[in-house]
Amino acid sequence: MSVPARPGYTLAEVLLVLTLLGLLLVLAAPVLDTVGYRMNNAVHEVGGELAAAQRLAVVRGHDIVVAFDTSRRAVRIHDDRDNDRRVGPGEPLRWVALPAGVRFGRGAAPPHPWLGPEAVGWTKRQDGLPAVVFHRSGSASAMGGFYLVSERGARERRPQDARAVVIDRATGRVSVWRFTGSRWEVEL
């Protein structure tokens, strides 16, 4: 009694398919735009830090000052326990650096309709840095925001690499926006 042959693939067929898939991947990899994904990650990371600072002000019952150091490519979060908007002894400071390849600015993108053309749009300052204050009510000191752009977007004038974070004054709500190449769209 003979065992019936089972349908299947030969080793040569499997190797041929794997070779073709490998060639396809090598050809398609340069077309994939990883900068867009990195920009989305960066803007959500920094926007999340601002949302956390706003919640911290509500929970702790005092101001949290977020200052933007564009030259260091970092955000400074100050736990302002005495609400004087000055860094005092015993008041914690935390720095959050922007991810590699990301800087403050909008590159070639036009200004967001609710923000000005500056990289960081707050006029209040703390230690010479533009800053927003989140109050214990959850509100912000002013409506404003900032832009982030990739190094590539700034260098090669690619407006679609620009992102914006907008803070609502009344609620302190953080919203994230991206430039599509023709207009600003809010990210949900």
d(CA 137, CA 115): 23
The most distant pair of C-alpha atoms in the chain lies apart, rounded to whole Å, by 93
pLDDT digit string (tens) for the chain, length 188 residues: 677 777 788 888 888 888 988 887 777 666 667 788 888 889 999 999 999 999 999 999 999 999 999 999 999 999 999 999 999 999 999 999 999 999 999 999 999 999 989 999 988 999 999 999 999 999 999 999 999 999 988 888 889 889 999 999 999 999 999 999 899 999 86
Give the pTM: 0.80
Those residues with Cβ within 8 angstroms of residue 39's Cβ, 6 or more apart along the chain or in another chain: 102, 148, 149, 150, 153, 161, 163, 178
Distance of CA 111 to the CA centre of its chain: 17
Helix (H, G, I), strand (E, B), or coil: what is residue 1? coil
Token output for 102: 């990301």
Which whole-number Å values give the CA distances from 175 to 25, 28, 38, 107, 155, in the listed order?
A: 36, 33, 18, 20, 26
Identify the structural domains of the chain with CATH numbers, from first to last: 34-186 (3.55.40.10)
Q: Which long-range contacts (CB under 8 A, 24 or more apart) does 160-163 make?
A: 160/36, 160/109, 161/35, 161/36, 161/39, 161/107, 162/106, 162/107, 162/108, 162/109, 163/39, 163/40, 163/42, 163/43
